[in-house]
Amino acid sequence: MTYEEFTETLPASTPPGHIPELLKALWYDAKGDWEAAHNIAQSKEGTRPYDRLHAYLHRVEGDTWNAGYWYRRAGSEVFTGTLKEEWEYLVKNLLQTENM
């Protein structure tokens, strides 16, 4: 799946069933369902990709202290771009990993 194909699924009422959970979380976030995205992030705490998603979601929430905690847990630098740029960065990286 390409980034464009992924974003074309956003008008649907449910995420594509065949995509990985991390992409589903970002799909839910794009739809404004922070709670569903956060539940996915919490489902595998201690796993770096899930902790990285968790960091982003707390940044979306406006909780920069908590976001910083999750960036550190994920072994990642704090993202300094916009939330939209970070969402795009995460989606593209996950799609690249999925398509390898």
pLDDT at 98 (0 to 100): 75
CA angle 90, 91, 97 (to 5 degrees): 90
- pLDDT (tens digit per residue) in 9-23: 999 999 998 999 999
- pLDDT (tens digit per residue) in 49-88: 999 999 999 999 999 999 999 999 999 999 999 999 999 9
Whole-angstrom distance, CA of residue 14 vs CA of residue 16: 7
Whole-angstrom distance, CA of residue 94 vs CA of residue 15: 15
Whole-angstrom distance, CA of residue 67 vs CA of residue 55: 4
**Closest to 61 in 3D by CA, of 89, 35, 87:** 35
